[in-house]
Protein backbone atom coordinates (compact mmCIF):
# COMPACT_ATOMS: atom_id res chain seq x y z
CA UNK A 1 0.00 0.00 0.00
CA UNK A 2 1.41 3.43 -0.86
CA UNK A 3 0.99 6.56 1.24
CA UNK A 4 -1.98 7.86 -0.76
CA UNK A 5 -3.79 4.54 -0.32
CA UNK A 6 -3.10 4.55 3.44
CA UNK A 7 -4.38 8.11 3.69
CA UNK A 8 -7.55 7.16 1.76
CA UNK A 9 -7.98 4.05 3.93
CA UNK A 10 -8.10 6.31 7.01
CA UNK A 11 -10.61 8.62 5.31
CA UNK A 12 -12.81 5.63 4.47
CA UNK A 13 -12.57 4.32 8.03
CA UNK A 14 -13.51 7.68 9.56
CA UNK A 15 -16.49 8.01 7.19
CA UNK A 16 -17.66 4.43 7.89
CA UNK A 17 -17.48 5.08 11.63
CA UNK A 18 -19.26 8.45 11.24
CA UNK A 19 -16.32 10.26 12.79
CA UNK A 20 -16.22 13.87 11.75
CA UNK A 21 -12.79 14.87 10.48
CA UNK A 22 -11.13 17.93 9.07
CA UNK A 23 -8.93 17.73 6.04
CA UNK A 24 -6.06 20.04 5.15
CA UNK A 25 -3.23 19.58 2.69
CA UNK A 26 -1.83 16.08 3.36
CA UNK A 27 -3.44 16.01 6.81
CA UNK A 28 -6.54 14.60 8.51
CA UNK A 29 -7.59 15.65 12.00
CA UNK A 30 -10.32 14.23 14.22
CA UNK A 31 -11.20 13.70 17.88
CA UNK A 32 -11.85 10.43 19.65
CA UNK A 33 -13.49 9.90 22.98
CA UNK A 34 -11.23 7.50 24.82
CA UNK A 35 -12.64 4.87 27.13
CA UNK A 36 -10.30 5.88 29.89
CA UNK A 37 -9.75 8.84 32.20
CA UNK A 38 -7.98 10.90 29.55
CA UNK A 39 -11.23 11.92 27.82
CA UNK A 40 -11.07 13.33 24.30
CA UNK A 41 -7.93 12.73 22.26
CA UNK A 42 -6.96 14.84 19.25
CA UNK A 43 -5.74 12.69 16.36
CA UNK A 44 -3.81 13.81 13.30
CA UNK A 45 -2.71 11.78 10.31
CA UNK A 46 0.11 13.43 8.35
CA UNK A 47 0.72 12.17 4.83
CA UNK A 48 4.36 12.68 3.97
CA UNK A 49 6.43 11.43 1.03
CA UNK A 50 7.62 8.15 2.54
CA UNK A 51 5.23 7.53 5.41
CA UNK A 52 1.96 8.39 7.05
CA UNK A 53 2.26 9.37 10.69
CA UNK A 54 -0.56 9.10 13.19
CA UNK A 55 -0.27 11.48 16.15
CA UNK A 56 -2.56 11.14 19.15
CA UNK A 57 -2.31 14.12 21.49
CA UNK A 58 -3.06 13.66 25.17
CA UNK A 59 -5.42 16.28 26.61
CA UNK A 60 -3.13 17.12 29.54
CA UNK A 61 0.06 19.11 29.25
CA UNK A 62 3.10 19.44 31.45
CA UNK A 63 3.50 22.98 32.75
CA UNK A 64 6.43 24.25 30.69
CA UNK A 65 7.03 27.02 33.23
CA UNK A 66 7.90 24.47 35.92
CA UNK A 67 11.16 22.80 34.92
CA UNK A 68 10.82 19.96 37.43
CA UNK A 69 7.44 19.00 35.91
CA UNK A 70 8.85 19.07 32.38
CA UNK A 71 11.83 16.95 33.49
CA UNK A 72 9.52 14.46 35.20
CA UNK A 73 7.44 13.99 32.04
CA UNK A 74 10.59 13.87 29.87
CA UNK A 75 11.91 11.07 32.11
CA UNK A 76 8.57 9.26 31.87
CA UNK A 77 8.54 9.50 28.06
CA UNK A 78 12.16 8.30 27.86
CA UNK A 79 11.64 5.32 30.16
CA UNK A 80 8.41 4.23 28.46
CA UNK A 81 9.82 4.58 24.94
CA UNK A 82 12.69 2.24 25.83
CA UNK A 83 10.37 -0.77 25.71
CA UNK A 84 8.12 0.20 22.81
CA UNK A 85 8.59 -1.44 19.43
CA UNK A 86 5.82 0.32 17.54
CA UNK A 87 5.33 4.02 18.10
CA UNK A 88 6.72 6.35 20.71
CA UNK A 89 5.62 9.06 23.10
CA UNK A 90 6.88 12.59 22.47
CA UNK A 91 7.07 15.68 24.64
CA UNK A 92 6.96 19.08 22.95
CA UNK A 93 9.37 21.08 25.08
CA UNK A 94 7.92 24.40 23.83
CA UNK A 95 4.40 23.86 25.17
CA UNK A 96 4.42 20.73 27.37
CA UNK A 97 2.18 18.77 25.00
CA UNK A 98 2.51 14.98 25.08
CA UNK A 99 1.61 12.90 22.05
CA UNK A 100 1.91 9.35 20.83
CA UNK A 101 3.49 8.99 17.37
CA UNK A 102 2.86 5.94 15.21
CA UNK A 103 4.59 5.72 11.80
CA UNK A 104 2.93 3.81 8.99
CA UNK A 105 5.33 3.14 6.12
CA UNK A 106 3.30 0.42 4.45
CA UNK A 107 0.27 -1.34 5.72
CA UNK A 108 -2.06 -4.16 4.94
CA UNK A 109 -3.65 -3.53 8.33
CA UNK A 110 -7.05 -1.90 8.55
CA UNK A 111 -7.06 1.73 9.81
CA UNK A 112 -9.28 0.81 12.75
CA UNK A 113 -6.75 -1.77 13.95
CA UNK A 114 -3.89 0.75 13.70
CA UNK A 115 -5.88 3.31 15.71
CA UNK A 116 -6.90 0.72 18.31
CA UNK A 117 -3.31 -0.51 18.69
CA UNK A 118 -2.11 3.07 19.29
CA UNK A 119 -4.96 3.68 21.76
CA UNK A 120 -4.19 0.44 23.61
CA UNK A 121 -0.60 1.58 24.14
CA UNK A 122 -1.80 4.95 25.45
CA UNK A 123 -4.32 3.19 27.67
CA UNK A 124 -1.68 0.80 29.02
CA UNK A 125 0.44 3.72 30.24
CA UNK A 126 -2.42 5.98 31.38
CA UNK A 127 -2.24 5.21 35.11
CA UNK A 128 1.52 5.64 35.52
CA UNK A 129 1.44 8.74 33.28
CA UNK A 130 -1.26 10.44 35.36
CA UNK A 131 0.50 9.37 38.57
CA UNK A 132 3.78 10.86 37.35
CA UNK A 133 2.08 14.03 36.17
CA UNK A 134 -0.18 14.75 39.13
CA UNK A 135 1.17 12.60 41.96
CA UNK A 136 4.04 13.10 44.33
CA UNK A 137 5.77 9.84 43.39
CA UNK A 138 8.84 9.82 41.20
CA UNK A 139 8.67 8.33 37.72
CA UNK A 140 10.34 5.04 38.65
CA UNK A 141 7.82 4.53 41.47
CA UNK A 142 4.98 5.19 39.01
CA UNK A 143 6.33 2.59 36.58
CA UNK A 144 7.61 0.01 39.09
CA UNK A 145 5.52 -3.15 39.31
CA UNK A 146 3.14 -1.86 36.63
CA UNK A 147 2.20 -4.67 34.24
CA UNK A 148 0.87 -4.34 30.72
CA UNK A 149 -1.83 -6.86 29.90
CA UNK A 150 -3.18 -4.99 26.87
CA UNK A 151 -2.82 -5.91 23.21
CA UNK A 152 0.44 -3.96 23.23
CA UNK A 153 2.59 -7.08 23.00
CA UNK A 154 -0.01 -9.31 21.38
CA UNK A 155 0.89 -8.59 17.75
CA UNK A 156 4.67 -8.38 18.07
CA UNK A 157 6.94 -11.14 16.90
CA UNK A 158 10.49 -11.79 18.03
CA UNK A 159 11.94 -9.75 15.15
CA UNK A 160 10.14 -6.63 16.44
CA UNK A 161 11.51 -6.95 19.96
CA UNK A 162 14.71 -5.48 21.38
CA UNK A 163 17.24 -8.23 22.21
CA UNK A 164 16.55 -8.15 25.97
CA UNK A 165 12.77 -7.83 25.69
CA UNK A 166 12.23 -11.54 26.37
CA UNK A 167 13.40 -10.96 29.94
CA UNK A 168 10.32 -8.84 30.51
CA UNK A 169 7.61 -10.84 28.70
CA UNK A 170 5.98 -14.01 29.92
CA UNK A 171 5.31 -15.80 26.61
CA UNK A 172 2.55 -17.91 28.16
CA UNK A 173 0.46 -14.97 29.35
CA UNK A 174 1.64 -12.17 27.03
CA UNK A 175 2.21 -10.01 30.09
CA UNK A 176 5.12 -7.61 30.07
CA UNK A 177 6.61 -5.86 33.04
CA UNK A 178 7.80 -2.37 32.32
CA UNK A 179 11.55 -2.13 32.47
CA UNK A 180 12.86 0.26 35.09
CA UNK A 181 16.58 0.46 35.70
CA UNK A 182 16.99 1.32 39.38
CA UNK A 183 20.63 2.29 38.86
CA UNK A 184 19.92 5.13 36.42
CA UNK A 185 18.37 8.17 38.05
CA UNK A 186 17.87 11.21 35.89
CA UNK A 187 17.24 13.31 38.95
CA UNK A 188 17.90 11.86 42.38
CA UNK A 189 15.66 14.52 43.95
CA UNK A 190 12.50 13.09 42.39
CB 37 within 8 A of CB 59: no
Q: What angle, rounded to 10 degrees, do the helices at 3-16 and 111-124 form? A: 80
Residues 6+ apart with CB under 8 A from 136: none
CB 146 within 8 A of CB 170: no
Highest CATH level, class, for 3-177: alpha beta
What residues in the chain have per-residue pLDDT under 50? 145, 147-190
For the segment 94-119, what is each residue's pLDDT rounded down to a tens digit? 999 999 999 887 767 788 888 888 88
Other C-beta atoms within 10 Å of 83: how many? 21
**Domain spans, the chain:** 3-177
Give dist(CA 148, CA 165) in Å, integer: 13
Strand partners, 27: 24, 46
Write down the pLDDT at residue 21: 93
Write down the pLDDT at residue 136: 72
Q: How far is CA 44 from CA 19, 21, 101, in A?
A: 13, 9, 10
For the segment 152-165, what is each residue's pLDDT rounded down to a tens digit? 334 334 444 334 33
Residues 6+ apart with CB under 8 A from 183: none
Give dist(CA 138, CA 132) in Å, integer: 6
Amino acid sequence: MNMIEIFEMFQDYLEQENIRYFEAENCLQWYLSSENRLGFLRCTLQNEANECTLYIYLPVKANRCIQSEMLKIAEFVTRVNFGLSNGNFELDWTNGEVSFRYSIKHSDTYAGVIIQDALSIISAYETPFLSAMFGNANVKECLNDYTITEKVVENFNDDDMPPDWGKHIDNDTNEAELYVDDDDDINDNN
